[in-house]
């Protein structure tokens, strides 16, 4: 796959990928699948959905997994509700929790909250592109 210095794709394309990640995040968890992996897909869903809105608003999204950065860019053109702002906490699932390390394991309640936040962002994004 060639490396590009910029993102391509329409807002609808990005939202389609966000919805795909959301579906992966919401699967019935097989025994060997970690909640951390499902939370990664929740984070990816929110990230891609926010990038869809940025593209729709004419702002090229940066290559970052940091949802706070994306929300700050969006604040230049749209006021996101508090529940969308809360999705910034999903950033930790982008990298840190994907690998073994010195962190608390994700439990089912934390996973359910990550999934709820991601769903909220994807639905909101669909209404704003």
Residue with tokens 């529940």: 83
- 53 domain residue, yes or no: yes
User: Is residue 3 scored above 80 in pLDDT?
Assistant: no
Range of the domain at 102: 11-127
- 75 domain residue, yes or no: yes
Buried b / exposed e across 97-129, counting CB within 10 Å, b at 16+? Answer: beeeeeeeebeeebbebbbebbbbbbebbbebb
* Sign of the four-CA dihedral 94, 95, 98, 101: negative
CB atoms within 10 A of CB 65: 16
For residue 71, which of 84, 90, 52, 83 has the smallest C-alpha distance? Answer: 84
Averaged pLDDT of the chain: 93
Write down the pLDDT at residue 6.
Answer: 55
- Mean per-residue pLDDT for 29-54? 97
User: Is residue 5 scored above 70 in pLDDT?
Assistant: no
pTM of the model: 0.92
Separation CA 62–CA 59 (nearest Å) = 9
| Side-chain half-sphere exposure of 18, counting CA atoms within 13 A | 28
Write down the pLDDT at residue 2.
Answer: 46
Q: How many domains does the chain have?
A: 1
- Give the domain CATH number at 19: 1.20.120.330
The string of pLDDT tens digits covering residues 75-113 is 999 999 999 999 999 999 998 777 777 788 999 999 999
3-class SS of residue 30:
coil
Write down the pLDDT at residue 8.
Answer: 84
- 5 domain residue, yes or no: no
The string of pLDDT tens digits covering residues 44-72 is 999 999 999 999 999 999 999 999 999 99
- 6 domain residue, yes or no: no
Residue with tokens 């990664």: 40
- 105 domain residue, yes or no: yes
């Amino acid at each position: 796959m060639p490396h590009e210095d910029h993102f391509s794709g329409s807002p609808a394309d990005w939202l389609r990928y966000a919805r795909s990640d959301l579906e992966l995040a919401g699967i019935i968890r097989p025994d060997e699948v970690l909640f951390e992996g499902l939370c990664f897909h929740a984070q990816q869903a929110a990230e891609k959905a926010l990038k869809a809105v940025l593209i729709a608003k004419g702002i090229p999204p940066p290559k970052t997994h940091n949802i706070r950065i994306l929300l700050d860019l969006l604040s230049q053109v749209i006021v996101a509700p508090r529940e969308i702002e809360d999705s910034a906490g999903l950033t930790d699932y982008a990298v840190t929790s994907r690998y073994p390390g010195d962190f608390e394991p994700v439990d089912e309640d934390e996973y359910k909250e990550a999934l709820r936040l991601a769903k909220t962002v994807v639905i909101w994004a669909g209404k704003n592109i």
